Structure 1
Amino acid sequence: MTIYKGKKVLVTGGTGMIGRPLVEMLLSAGAEVRVVSLDDPSRAHSDVQFLRLNLMDYQACVQACSGIDYVFQLVGVKGSPAMTAKKPASFFVPLLLMNTNMMEAAFREGVERYLYTSSVGVYGPAEVFYEDAVWESYPSKNDWFAGWAKRMGELQGDAYKIEYGWDKTVIVRPANVYGPFDNFDPNSAMVIPSLIRRAVQGENPFVVWGDGSSVRDFIHAKDVARGMMMALEKLPDGSVNLGSGTGIKIRELVEEVVSNMDSRPKIVWDKTKPHGDRRRVFDLKRARKMGFKAQIPLKEGIAETVEWYRRNQHIADKGYNVFSSDRYL
């Protein structure tokens, strides 16, 4: 990936789960990296320029993009379906503001390449998700607000291309991403960090919503970061799915998590609770065409993430959390 050597690269959300390994890969490729985040500076890599900025403010986005060649727009709002249902404005409004302001600032500042991180949530219910089928249906009700907000960011890139000929945007749609530096907050964590936190803290019986039959496509953050760099380099524009391409039942996932515990808890399935869409797996033909394939098996990735959480429980919940903070901080 020689295009990064000597380039000035901005990673918004560069202190997070995908941002951390992406920053390390960019530095290894010879890039000069700027990280923007609302996290404490201690969470940033020591070899980057760190700016603590609120990207809901347009002028902050201009400051972030000034003098930058490539932008990786990772910053967003991540939370469980239950939190989405409870606090939809906390998903919808910040995502719209950050996405709109960042792309506008990048356009105005003459950025050469712009990677927009979309989401599996943009897809309507289907057994397999194909990039070009996204506009044939509505987002799943389980991702309604975040899915529409992410779709607006995708449309914004199309709008600039049509009106201004600015075809610099590549859209990446990651599957269900997990890894170190994930959000482990018990009130808003996604399925893997939620399971890991509860298992490590010794919950027994271990109660899991649904019946375990739902199928999801999980991918490690390091694989996503590598795929993002490939997408920015190899795709002229358009969208690409980044996933494992393999469906894993939630029941299998739970077994994988508890297998890393010293003492196996009793697993109880609460079938009175919702289980989400039955199946969500990515088609990866486009990703494979650019040479991408996930390299970290789920077993290895879960073991690494469990070990990271065990060692870092004291910092795991100290990142900026839009659900417990003033959204206009």
Structure 2
Amino acid sequence: MTRIYIAGHRGMVGGAILRRLQARADAGEDLTLVTRTHAELDLTNQAAVAAFMAAENPDVVILAAARVGGIHANNTYPGDFIYDNLMIECNVIHQAFAHGVRRLLQLGSSCIYPRAVAQPMREDALLTGVLEPTNEPYAIAKIAGIKLCESYNRQHGTDYRSVMPTNLYGPGDNFHPENSHVLPALIRRFHEAAEAGAESVTIWGSGKPRREFLHVDDMAEASLFVLDLPKDTYEANTEPMLSHINVGSGTDVSILELAQMVMRVTGFEGRIVTDPTKPDGTMRKLMDVSRLADMGWRAGIGLEQGIAETYAWFLENRGDIRG
């Protein structure tokens, strides 16, 4: 029997990973899945995490818990973002080691890469330049998580791995009008505009920045693919000081093109207006996913298909969603 602790199982990514693991267990795989809500376990509390690890004794830890948000949230709460994420990573990773956890998978973010970096972004671009100012505190915390895993592997021989996803979306996303990421924010904005019969929808920035998007179900599949790789296969495709792996679709669209997709899916019939007084952020963020592709995994859900599925989930769960 393998005991797997999924930290952050109520989040979008953690929930998708939990669903996949539960399907495996239902199919007969000998798994025990361990979860805790934030109310039951505060991952920023070192003593609480230590007591939990001692009591539950997991064999594998999947660290999908994090404080996350869009440009507005990162700009408004930088102290909260760096503190909470550093504490979560330090507590979970160290206590996993202290209690003999064999394998650990940490989920990071593409914002770890420098603002002015060659596109698509390769894993070896890490720490080669200045970060995007709008989410620097969050990015620094995520870089620290990678280095924690690398350092414990080097010093203690652990098998702790990190995956760096591109922009994620899908069922369970945060649709808050101010604190959400761009895609769920657009879905909500266009839906409400269509309901109200509005003449136009305004999007932040110039609409020119390009972004890559990955459906959360693809991310869950990729995460478990990386976790399940034999140690020698994983190590043959990484390096001791470069042990993280990019996860993405390998394609990108402009924010304006994204808005046009959302417009089609939601049935909004007005016009799109850009607001260049709002920040664009990094002009392009596309992941180089060749390393993961060489190991045998590629994304399978197309963007417009994924937006349609996400919009359907939004409509079905509108009464319960955040925001």
Normalising by structure 2, what TM-score?
Answer: 0.89
Partners of 1:255 and 1:135 in 2: how far apart? 35
Is 1:104 the equivalent of 2:61?
Answer: no
Shift of 1:151: 0.8
How many residues in Structure 1 have an aligned counterpart in Structure 2?
Answer: 300
Match of 2:132 among 124, 127, 140: 140
Q: What amino acid is the match of 1:280?
A: K
Deviations 1:32-62 (A, max 9, x none): 21123327xxxxxxxxxxxx21100113323
Q: What amino acid is the match of 1:300?
A: Q
Is 1:295 the equivalent of 2:300?
Answer: yes
Is 1:35 the equivalent of 2:46?
Answer: no
Shift of 1:74: 0.3
Shift of 1:174: 0.3
Partners of 2:225 and 2:267 in 1: how far apart? 39
Partners of 2:260 and 2:52 in 1: how far apart? 43
Is 1:59 the equivalent of 2:47?
Answer: yes
Residue pair 2:63, 2:107 contacting (<8 A) in 1 also: yes
Residues 221 and 270 of structure 1: CA distance in aligned 2, closer, same or farther (over 3 Å): same
Deviations 1:164-223 (A, max 9, x none): 233x11110000000011111122100011111111222632000122111111000000
Shift of 1:118: 1.1
Q: What amino acid is the match of 2:50?
A: V
Deviations 1:65-113 (A, max 9, x none): 3321111100001111122111101101000111000001100111110
2:120 aligns to what?
128
Shift of 1:284: 0.7
Aligned-residue identity in percent: 29
C-alpha RMSD of the superposition: 1.5
Give unpaired runs (5+ residues) of structure 2. Answer: none
Shift of 1:140: 1.7
Match of 2:216 among 204, 212, 221: 221
Is 1:310 the equivalent of 2:315?
Answer: yes
Partners of 2:268 and 2:278 in 1: how far apart? 26
Shift of 1:162: 2.9
Deviates more, 1:92-101 or 1:272-281: 272-281
1:169 aligns to what?
160
2:178 aligns to what?
187
Partners of 1:216 and 1:149 in 2: how far apart? 22
Partners of 1:34 and 1:88 in 2: how far apart? 31
DSSP-derived class of the 2:91 partner: helix
Residue pair 2:187, 2:266 contacting (<8 A) in 1 also: no
Normalising by structure 1, what TM-score?
Answer: 0.87
DSSP-derived class of the 1:255 partner: helix
Residues 279 and 263 of structure 1: CA distance in aligned 2, closer, same or farther (over 3 Å): closer
Residue pair 1:71, 1:115 contacting (<8 A) in 2 also: yes
Residue pair 1:175, 1:219 contacting (<8 A) in 2 also: yes
Partners of 2:141 and 2:304 in 1: how far apart? 33
Q: 1:1-329 alignment to 2 at 5 Å? A: 6-29=1-24, 30=29, 31-38=31-38, 52-65=40-53, 66-125=56-115, 126=117, 127-166=119-158, 168-202=159-193, 204=198, 205-234=200-229, 235-236=234-235, 238-317=243-322
DSSP-derived class of the 1:36 partner: coil
Partners of 2:193 and 2:309 in 1: how far apart? 18
Deviates more, 1:134-143 or 1:174-183: 134-143
Deviations 1:274-321 (A, max 9, x none): 111111100011111221100000011000111111111111117xxx
Residue pair 1:55, 1:98 contacting (<8 A) in 2 also: yes
Partners of 1:206 and 1:242 in 2: how far apart? 31
Residue pair 2:165, 2:246 contacting (<8 A) in 1 also: yes
Q: What amino acid is the match of 2:41?
A: L
Deviations 1:197-251 (A, max 9, x none): 1112226320001221111110000000000001111124721101001011111
DSSP-derived class of the 1:142 partner: helix
Deviates more, 1:125-134 or 1:211-220: 125-134
Partners of 1:301 and 1:196 in 2: how far apart? 12
Partners of 2:278 and 2:132 in 1: how far apart? 18
